[in-house]
Structure 1
Amino acid sequence: MSDAAPEAGKTGPRVALFVTCLVDFFRPTVGFAAVKLLEQAGCRVEVPHAQTCCGQPAYNSGDRADTKAIARQVIAAFADYDYVVVPSGSCAGMLRKHYPALFEKDPKLAAPAAKLGERTYELISFLTDVLKVDGLAGHFAGSVTYHDSCSGLRELKVKEQPRALLRGLTGLRLVELQEPEVCCGFGGTFCVKYPEVSNQMVDTKAEDIENSGADLLLAGDLGCLLNMAGKLKRRGAKTQTRHVAEVLAGMTDGPAIGEGKD
C-alpha cells in the first residue's frame, strides 16, 4: 500500500496503519478496509512509507539479532503517532507484547519500545475498546462463522469485539464453530517446521467450519485465513473466506480469499 494522507479538517486521533506483510503482498483489500473503518470512526489515518515487517518470523525462529534490527526500524517509523493500528492480532501482539520485552534492558530503546507497545492495537479492538464504536451501519446477506486466531485471542483478548460489530450488520447471521478457539495449524513458521501436524490441525478446523453450514468464514489474521482458505478449497468446500474488516467495511464485491486474483 502507498502512503495515505490524513483528510483535511479532521481532528480525530492521528493513527498509523501497520499494514503487515501478508496484507501488503496478498490481500491489500484488508488494508483499504481498515482505512475506511478508521476514517469512518473519525481518525486521521496515515500509512508510513518506512514501515517494514514486524520481525515476527525471525523472532519465532529464535533470531533475536535480526528481530531487534527490524524492530528498531519499526519503532522509529511509528514514533510520532497517537496510535498504531494493525489488522492482525499476531503482528499487533508482536509490537505490543514482544517489542517491550526485547528491549527491556536496552537503556536507549526500552522506553520507546514500551511507548509503542502501549499505543498499538489490533484493528477491531481499537474500534471497540478505544474509540468505543458499538455499531456500524452496514448490511451483509448471509451466514458467517468466526475463527479466533491464537495471538489475537490469547495475547490481546480479542474475542467478543468482532462478534459485537458483526451482529450489528443487518442481514448477517452469526453461527459459532464447535471449537472457535482451537488453532488452525498455521502458527507462522510452525506450519513449515511441522507440516504433518499443521496439516492435521487445519483439516480438523476445516471440518468444523464445514459443519457449521456458514456461507463465509471470518477471522482477524490473514495468515490463518490463507491457511484455512487453502484447506477448504482442497476439500472442495463451498465456504468462502474473508478478513472480518472486509465485511465490516462493506468491501465484499471482489473475490474471496483463495478465489481468483486477490
Structure 2
Amino acid sequence: MYSTAKAKVTIILANLGTPDEPTIPAVRRFLKQFLSDQRVIEIPKPIWQIILRLFILPFRPKRVSQAYSQVWGQDSPMREILFEQVSAVKTHLTQLYPQFELNVVPAMTYGNPSIQDVLAQVSAQPQEHVILFPLFPQYSATSTAPLYDALAKWVVQQRNLPGLTVIRDYYQHPLFIQSLAQSVRDYQAIHGQPEKLLMSFHGIPQPYADKGDPYADRCRITGKLVAEALGLNEDQYAISFQSRFGK
C-alpha cells in the first residue's frame, strides 16, 4: 500500500545559542563550545586552545554570567523569544498550507536545543522536506556557516534524505526592511525623533571581511535601505559595528 498522507515538512528556526543557566559553570560550557568553533575563531587551533583554556575560560565566565543574570527571566531571553517565534510561525503557516503536515522547531548552533539533536529527531521521523532557516538577516561565515556545517555532517549520515532548503539570509528583503523601519517609527512616535539615527550591528574581525566574508557589506545595505524607507538623508543616520574581543 502506498501512503496518501500529507507530506511532512519540518522548518528549523535556528539562532546562535545561549547558556542553559546564568551561572559560571553553564556560561563556561557555552563559551567553550562557542569559542572552540574555528568558524568563529580562525587562530590556529593549538595556539587558540591554550589561550582559551588558560586566559579566557578561567576568568570571562564570571563577568558574562553576571551580565546574563541581569536580563534572565524564566529562561534566557534569546531562547524565550525563539520559542515564541516558533509558535507564531507554526500557527501562521499551518493556516496558509493545510495540505502539509508542518512542524516548526527551534534550534541553536551552540547550547540547547542543539541543532544536532534537532536533526537527529528529523532522522527518527523522516520528512519530505526540511527547511533550515538561520535567524541571521546578514550571512556571515561566523554565524550562518556553522549551521551549514552541522547540516552537511548530518547529510552524509542519512540514507533516506529529504528535500533540503537553506535560507541563506534576508538582509534586503522588503518585508524585513519594512519591519525594521516600522519599529523605528513606533519608537519615535513615543519618544520623539532624534537628530540622528544610529544603526548598530554586531561586529566581525576586519580580517574576516578582508578574506571575503560579506557580512559587513550586507549590514551597510540593510542600514541604507532602512534609512531610505524612513526618508532619511545621509546626514540623518549613521551605521556602526559593535562587540570587540581582544585584538
Range into which the TM-score falls when normalised by the shorter chain: 0.3 to 0.5
Higher RCO (Cα < 8 Å, 6 or more apart): 2
TM-score by length of 1: 0.36
**Which structure dedicates a bigger proportion of its chain to strand?**
2
